[in-house]
């Protein structure tokens, strides 16, 4: 009886250590890009679609900003990333700087969108 309990505990310990090392390995090979999207007046924008593209591999992941303008791309493979943010009524912003994502790194960034000017036919600036 005692041998069965000991064997069960050893199997449980082995399983736990394998699971933890697998989790640590996944954390060590990926990173996170998160941030806030605002308009030109500084108001947070919900519903903005942000496409994160690894420019070395063309891997893409998209996410949408929440009601506080926050977005988060998790478990991203490491490498250089370009961000593009879109929202109807705003100019599409291609964030010019490349974000270098390294293992385990969390990058926090801000994106500013500019409202599109609507010009009615027959009117000029």
Give the length of the chain.
Answer: 125
> What's the pLDDT tens digit per position in 45-88?
999 999 999 999 999 999 999 999 999 999 999 999 999 999 99
Token couple for 36: 């806030």
pTM, rounded to two decimals: 0.71
* Domain ranges for the chain: 30-113
User: With contact defined as beta carbons under 8 Å apart, do 86 and 48 qualify?
Assistant: yes
Q: The CATH number of 30-113 is which of 2.60.40.10, 3.90.1150.10, 2.30.40.10, 1.10.3720.10?
A: 2.60.40.10
Q: Mean of the per-residue pLDDT values for the chain? A: 84
User: What is the distance between the alpha carbons of residues 60 and 33, in angstroms, rounded to a whole number?
Assistant: 13
Would you state the pLDDT for residue 124? 58
Classify residue 117 as exposed, middle or buried by CB count within 10 Å of its CB (0-12, 13-18, 19+). exposed
């Amino acid at each position: 009886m005692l041998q069965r309990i000991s064997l069960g505990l050893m199997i449980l310990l082995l399983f736990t250590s394998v699971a933890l090392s697998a989790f640590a390995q996944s954390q060590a090979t990926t990173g996170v890009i998160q941030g806030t999207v605002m308009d030109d007046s500084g108001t947070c924008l919900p519903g903005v679609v942000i496409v994160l593209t690894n420019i070395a591999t063309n891997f893409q992941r998209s996410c949408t900003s929440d009601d506080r303008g926050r977005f988060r791309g998790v478990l991203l493979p490491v490498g250089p990333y370009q961000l593009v943010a879109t929202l109807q009524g705003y100019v599409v912003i291609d964030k010019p700087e490349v974000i270098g994502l390294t293992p385990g790194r969390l990058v926090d960034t801000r994106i500013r969108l500019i409202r599109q000017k609507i010009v009615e036919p027959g009117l000029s600036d």
